[in-house]
Amino acid sequence: MTWASSRGRRAAFSALLMVSLVLALGGCASVDQRLQRAAQLEDRGDYAAALDGYEDAIVHVGASDRKQLAAIYVKVGECLWRLGRPNEAVNAFERALQLDPVNVDAHLRTAELWVTQAPGRALGEARFVLSLEPNNVEAFTVLGAAYSSAGQVAPAKQAYERVLAGSVRFRAVLVPSA
């Protein structure tokens, strides 16, 4: 048996490396395509099909990419919520938080689900988001709703005032004065 020349081995190694790279990049594009398609379905209001798309994408994401998996689980939870499956939505949001404990969207969606059933828990989630993003208008909205649900009018009013102030500031950035 004869061994290939070093030049032949390098060529074979280069070819193998190229095939591996193409397969790896193809996998990334495949996940991106799945996510894009699922988002389009969600935008059209086809939440069942979007849910299938997001769940399909999950199996194609590497286990080490915890932030991307968490983001997908948030989308899964949002679809489940829209489909009237709140218990499953909570499970999806909790899975997102297990993967990425500082995922703002997962904390906000969890807070929104708890506003009427457990306002104290919703307040905790909204406050956590505000500790990460002190001017998060959505967190102040949830805070106001949770306080209102708990019958605490004064803090609810303060939270909603922050929402209005944030909305005005946001609008000023988008719409320059004449």
**Which pLDDT does position 166 carry in this prediction?**
79
Query: Dihedral of CA 139/141/146/152: which sign?
Result: positive
CA atoms within 13 A on the CB side of 126: 27
Q: How far is the C-alpha of 132 from the C-alpha of 15, rounded, in Å?
A: 47
Q: Predicted confidence band at 2 (pLDDT cuts at 50, 70, 90)?
A: very low
Structure tokens at 8: 């032949």
Cβ neighbours, 10 Å, residue 26: 10
Which residues lie closer than 8 Å to 61 by C-beta, 6 or more apart? 31, 68, 69, 72
**Which pLDDT does position 114 carry in this prediction?**
93
What's the full length of the chain, in residues? Answer: 178
Averaged over 15-31, what is the pLDDT?
A: 51
CA distances from 94 to 99, 118, 177 (A): 9, 16, 43
**Which pLDDT does position 5 carry in this prediction?**
54
CB 122 within 8 A of CB 146: yes
CB 127 within 8 A of CB 110: no
Q: How far is the C-alpha of 98 from the C-alpha of 95, rounded, in Å?
A: 5
DSSP letter (8 states) at residue 175: S
Kindly list the structural domains of the chain, giving each domain's residue range(s) and its CATH number in brackets, ordered by start: 29-101 (1.25.40.10), 115-178 (1.25.40)
pLDDT digits 0-9 by tens, 26-41: 445 589 999 999 999 9
Q: What is the dihedral of CA 74, 31, 67, 76, to 10 degrees?
A: 10
**Which pLDDT does position 103 carry in this prediction?**
97
**Region of poorest pLDDT, from 18-22, 137-141, 165-169:** 18-22
More confident position, 9 or 56: 56
pTM of the model: 0.75
**Which pLDDT does position 165 carry in this prediction?**
87
More confident position, 94 or 167: 94
